[in-house]
């Protein structure tokens, strides 16, 4: 079977590996669709995210869906042929954070495509059976793969405890910013303002339900939000670009006593924050880390037609085109939102 192997910075080759056999409690997944995440691109271009440094050779990819292809000993919950979303995180389940229900911050988590664990840009991969969640009738495999990034947006909105009628600003209209916007809408946000530097993403934000969106290259974002809110600022801000400028805006545009959340993954190790702005407002400033079991809620929202998840997938690539997919996402070319790798072609 074919595997897309990263052997050095920006160096990916297709290699043959023996077909994996599922061990006890495992299933073998025929990988149907894998989203190309910004974090994959960080590892591909920079070889690291903070202290998480790639050990070559490795395999990236952590937003998968597929079809159960074989089941190991003791697995009686999944049958061959079942279409599943694959949860990329295997938390330890016994540390204080796992026991408190915060599996997404487990320090011992094994997460697909994050050093030192291989990801899933490959034709087949064995996974613990409990990571595979059957897709409801009518949900496509591409939608199944998009549940993972959507879960991050839903998790951010859950942490923010958005109340009915609140106002929101989101800086960055990539897949995570857009997911956060759609989740905020479902939570009852009244007005949602978004920004991006890419014209197609600004248009996408409006199309998917933002109240208004502007290009931050052409508009003073802090003034714009002040104008929109009569100088008050919004109740909740989300940073979803991983840039210094957007971190600053996240603090500047939220109201006094508001809540500000940083979701984006930066390439640098440190940012500054406008301390006196945050201090005078007595801001709640919180980080968001991945998702925490939101896949089930996401699935339900998509099944009910309340999230147009499919629209996030703008490009598809075959397994041998992983480098092209990475370069496209890195350069934000061609209006890309989520590029999808389909190791077996279109199985939907
Ligand atoms: Zn991701
Ligand atoms: Zn744990």
- Cα(249) to centroid of ligand 1, in Å? 24
- Cα(256) to centroid of ligand 1, in Å? 32
Tally of domains in the chain: 2
Specify if 229 maps to a domain: yes
Q: Token digits for 308?
A: 């147009």
Specify if 292 maps to a domain: no
By CB neighbour count within 10 A (0-12 exposed, 13-18 middle, 19+ buried), where does 210 fall?
buried
Q: Does one domain contain both 175 and 238?
A: yes
- Cα(166) to centroid of ligand 1, in Å? 27
Q: Does one domain contain both 68 and 172?
A: no
Q: Does one domain contain both 157 and 260?
A: yes
Specify if 295 maps to a domain: no
Q: Does one domain contain both 86 and 167?
A: no
Degrees, nearest 5: CA angle 280-286-291: 160
- Cα(331) to centroid of ligand 2, in Å? 35
Q: Does one domain contain both 98 and 63?
A: yes
Specify if 298 maps to a domain: no
Q: Name beta bridge partners: 43.
A: none
Specify if 145 maps to a domain: no
Q: Does one domain contain both 125 and 205?
A: no
- Cα(105) to centroid of ligand 2, in Å? 7
- Cα(290) to centroid of ligand 2, in Å? 14
pLDDT of amino acid 255: 98
Q: Does one domain contain both 83 and 32?
A: yes
Ligand nearest to the CA of 43: 1
SS3 168: strand
- Cα(150) to centroid of ligand 1, in Å? 10
Cβ-based neighbours of 188, under 8 Å, separated by 6 or more: 162, 163, 164, 165, 166
Q: Does one domain contain both 74 and 195?
A: no
Rounded to the nearest angstrom, the gap between the alpha carbon of residue 218 and the centroid of all alpha carbons in its chain is 27
CATH of residue 81: 3.90.180.10
Specify if 184 maps to a domain: yes
Specify if 245 maps to a domain: yes
Label each residue of 297-346 as H, E or C. HHHHHHHCCCCCHHHHEEEEECHHHHHHHHHHHHHCCCCCCEEEECECEC
Ligand nearest to the CA of 103: 2
- Cα(38) to centroid of ligand 1, in Å? 7
Specify if 166 maps to a domain: yes
- Cα(224) to centroid of ligand 1, in Å? 30
Give the whole-angstrom CA distance, residue 338 versus residue 62.
13
- Cα(94) to centroid of ligand 1, in Å? 24
Ligand nearest to the CA of 100: 2
**0.75 cut: is pTM over it?**
yes
- Cα(322) to centroid of ligand 1, in Å? 15
CB 112 within 8 A of CB 51: no
Domain span at residue 191 reads 150-287
Ligand nearest to the CA of 108: 2
Ligand nearest to the CA of 39: 1
- Cα(148) to centroid of ligand 1, in Å? 7
Q: Does one domain contain both 84 and 208?
A: no
CB 65 within 8 A of CB 33: yes
- Cα(261) to centroid of ligand 1, in Å? 17
Q: At what angle do helices 175-186 and 141-160 cross, to 10 degrees?
A: 60
Q: Does one domain contain both 17 and 51?
A: yes
CATH of residue 196: 3.40.50.720
Q: Does one domain contain both 13 and 65?
A: yes
pLDDT of amino acid 71: 98
Those residues of the chain that have pLDDT short of 50 are: none
Ligand nearest to the CA of 174: 1
Q: Does one domain contain both 176 and 252?
A: yes
């Amino acid at each position: 079977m074919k595997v897309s192997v990263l052997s050095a910075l920006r160096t990916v080759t297709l290699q043959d590996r023996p077909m994996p056999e599922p061990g006890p409690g495992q299933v073998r997944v025929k990988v149907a669709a894998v989203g190309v995440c910004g974090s994959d691109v960080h590892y591909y271009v920079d070889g690291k995210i903070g202290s998480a440094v790639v050990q070559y050779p490795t395999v990236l990819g952590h937003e998968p869906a597929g079809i159960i292809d074989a089941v190991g000993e003791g697995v009686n919950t999944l049958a061959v042929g079942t279409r599943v979303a694959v949860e990329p995180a295997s938390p330890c389940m016994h540390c204080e954070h796992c026991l408190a229900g915060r599996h997404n911050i487990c320090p011992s988590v094994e997460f697909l495509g994050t050093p030192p664990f291989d990801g899933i840009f490959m034709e087949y991969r064995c996974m613990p059976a409990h990571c595979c969640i059957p897709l409801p009738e009518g949900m496509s495999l591409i939608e199944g793969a998009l549940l993972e990034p959507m879960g991050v947006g839903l998790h951010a909105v859950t942490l923010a405890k958005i109340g009915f009628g609140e106002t929101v600003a989101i800086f960055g209209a990539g897949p995570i910013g857009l997911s956060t916007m759609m989740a905020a809408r479902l939570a009852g946000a009244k007005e949602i303002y978004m920004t991006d530097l890419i014209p197609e993403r600004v248009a996408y934000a409006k199309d998917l339900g933002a109240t208004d969106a502007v290009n931050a290259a052409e508009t003073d974002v802090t003034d714009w939000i002040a104008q929109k809110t009569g100088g008050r600022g919004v109740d909740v801000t989300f940073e979803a670009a991983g840039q210094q400028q957007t971190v600053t805006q996240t603090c500047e545009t939220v109201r006094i006593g508001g809540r500000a959340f940083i979701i984006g993954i930066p390439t640098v190790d440190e940012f500054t924050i406008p301390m006196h702005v945050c201090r005078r407002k007595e801001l709640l400033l919180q980080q968001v880390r991945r998702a925490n079991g939101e896949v089930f809620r996401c699935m339900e929202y998509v099944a009910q037609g309340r999230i147009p998840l499919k629209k996030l997938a703008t490009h598809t690539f075959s397994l041998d085109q992983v480098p092209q997919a990475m370069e496209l996402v890195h350069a934000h070319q061609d209006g890309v939102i989520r590029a999808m790798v389909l190791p077996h072609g279109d199985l939907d």
